């Protein structure tokens, strides 16, 4: 029996560079209030959101990804043709095939990099980061580009009082490469499919394909509504606050550190009340910088963690070499948490 030659990768992996892109249009709560019965004070108190970015016609999923990825590659100090794989997490690229990652890989100038999309909702960045770490250590790619990108404005029902104010658009990216010391900890991830109905698409695409529009939702003008994201807000809130704090603690334990060792906490930017509750449950010390990018960016699903990371580093609230706990959680219900060294 022939013996297969073992893979030769790096001892460890790390994030080498980060980049972000926010669409040029800034949308204040006042615009949202044109279609729902609410108030600016209610939106801020319930979510922490003051503004969000919505993409224009030219700011496609691919275009935003390329902008963010270009910054991440420049920040990493490597050339694009050394990227061996491109992983894109998104739920808002509406072409089933080919994967948008292939277009991005080509336009960035990679040398025929492996490229694929994943669908893991708001935990997508953590899933992509874990896959990238595995590729670098296993040796199938020396450098991996991980992108979280969403145009959730395309999947927002502006007449849904529970979700109309939540979502924003944008892209965040990181380059993962070799390291001589641990810089991406073990990932604690999983799913709870029995709760999948708490965050979902209102109408499956095949309802349009078969031509049966008799039960499709209508807007206030009687027009058929495009599929949108809906959620059971209270159920999601309770799950995120109580269960995800446990997952975050498990990630700290897996990395062999305590909350006292942390410099930065970067949770998925779902809701500022969820973030504040997790900080309290985890008993994070005062010195830990907490990302609250949601205030001006909204919930950008898979893009939220890298966008928040990029902003903290750009503003100086976090610095290179800091130890950060990152955790994403969302539709599925899925989750992923790990400890990283910031680039």
Query: What are the structural domains of the chain?
Result: 10-180 (3.40.47.10), 183-194+227-340 (3.40.47.10)
pTM: 0.94
H/E stretch holding 181? none
Q: Which two tokens stand for residue 200?
A: 């979902």
Distances (CA, A) of 21 to 34, 54, 67, 212, 300: 27, 12, 6, 38, 11
Q: Which two tokens stand for residue 289?
A: 């910088």
DSSP H helical ranges for 48-123: 61-76, 100-108
| Residues labelled catalytic | 122, 268, 299
Instruction: With CA atoms as reference, report the closest residue to 238 among 202, 200, 281, 190.
Output: 281
For the chain, where are the E strands, in sequence order?
12-21, 25-28, 51-54, 83-89, 114-118, 143-151, 169-179, 188-191, 199-201, 229-231, 264-267, 289-290, 323-330, 334-341
Residue 320 near residue 342 (C-beta atoms within 8 A): yes
Distances (CA, A) of 206 to 156, 198, 335: 19, 21, 27
Tens digit of pLDDT per residue, the chain (343 long)? 888 887 788 899 999 999 999 999 999 999 999 999 999 999 999 999 999 999 999 999 999 999 999 999 999 999 999 999 999 999 999 988 999 999 999 999 999 999 999 999 999 999 999 999 999 999 999 999 999 999 999 999 999 999 999 999 999 999 999 999 999 999 999 999 998 888 888 888 777 765 556 667 777 777 778 888 888 888 998 999 889 999 999 999 999 999 999 999 999 999 999 999 999 999 999 999 999 999 999 999 999 999 999 999 999 999 999 999 999 999 989 999 999 999 9
Rounded Cα distance, 67 and 252, in Å: 32
3-state secondary structure of 113: coil
Beta-bridge partners for 54: 25
Q: Which two tokens stand for residue 236?
A: 């999601």
How far from each other are the two terminal CA atoms of the chain, in whole angstroms? 44
- 143-151 and 83-89 beta bridge pairing: parallel
Residue 185 near residue 254 (C-beta atoms within 8 A): yes
Q: Which two tokens stand for residue 68?
A: 């963010």
Q: What is the 3-state secondary structure (H, E, C) of 262-310?
A: CCEEEECCCCHHHHHHHHHHHCCCCCCEECCCHHHHCECHHHHHHHHHH
Torsion 245-117-296-236 (CA) sign:
negative
């Amino acid at each position: 029996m022939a013996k297969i030659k073992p893979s030769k990768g790096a001892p460890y992996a790390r994030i080498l560079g980060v980049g972000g892109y926010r669409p040029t249009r800034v949308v204040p709560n006042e615009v949202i209030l044109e279609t729902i019965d609410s108030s600016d004070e209610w939106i801020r108190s319930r979510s922490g959101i003051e503004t969000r970015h919505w993409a224009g016609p030219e700011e496609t999923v691919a275009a935003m990804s390329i902008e963010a990825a270009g910054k991440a590659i420049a920040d990493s100090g490597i050339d694009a043709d050394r990227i061996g794989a491109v992983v894109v997490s998104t739920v808002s690229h509406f072409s089933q095939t080919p994967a948008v990652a292939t277009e991005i890989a080509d336009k960035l100038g990679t040398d025929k990099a492996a490229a694929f999309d994943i669908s893991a909702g708001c935990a997508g960045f953590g899933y992509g980061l874990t896959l990238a770490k595995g590729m670098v250590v296993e040796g199938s790619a020396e450098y991996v580009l991980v992108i979280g990108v969403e145009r959730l404005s395309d999947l927002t029902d502006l007449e849904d009082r529970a979700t109309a104010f939540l979502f924003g658009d944008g892209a965040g990216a990181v380059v993962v490469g070799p390291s001589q010391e641990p810089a991406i900890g073990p990932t604690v991830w999983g799913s709870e499919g029995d709760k999948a109905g708490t965050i979902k698409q209102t109408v499956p695409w095949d309802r349009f394909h078969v031509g049966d529009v008799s039960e499709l939702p209508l807007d206030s003008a009687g027009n058929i509504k495009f599929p949108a994201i809906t959620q059971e807000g209270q159920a999601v809130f309770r799950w995120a606050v109580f269960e995800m704090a446990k997952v975050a603690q498990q990630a700290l334990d897996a990395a062999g550190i305590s909350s006292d060792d942390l410099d930065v906490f970067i949770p998925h930017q779902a809701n500022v009340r969820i973030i504040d509750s997790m900080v309290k449950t985890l008993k994070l010390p005062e010195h830990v910088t907490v990302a609250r990018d949601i205030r001006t960016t909204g919930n950008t699903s898979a893009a939220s963690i890298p966008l928040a990371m990029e902003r903290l580093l750009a503003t100086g609230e976090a610095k290179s070499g800091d130890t950060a706990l990152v955790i994403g959680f969302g539709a599925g219900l899925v989750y992923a948490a790990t400890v990283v060294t910031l680039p």
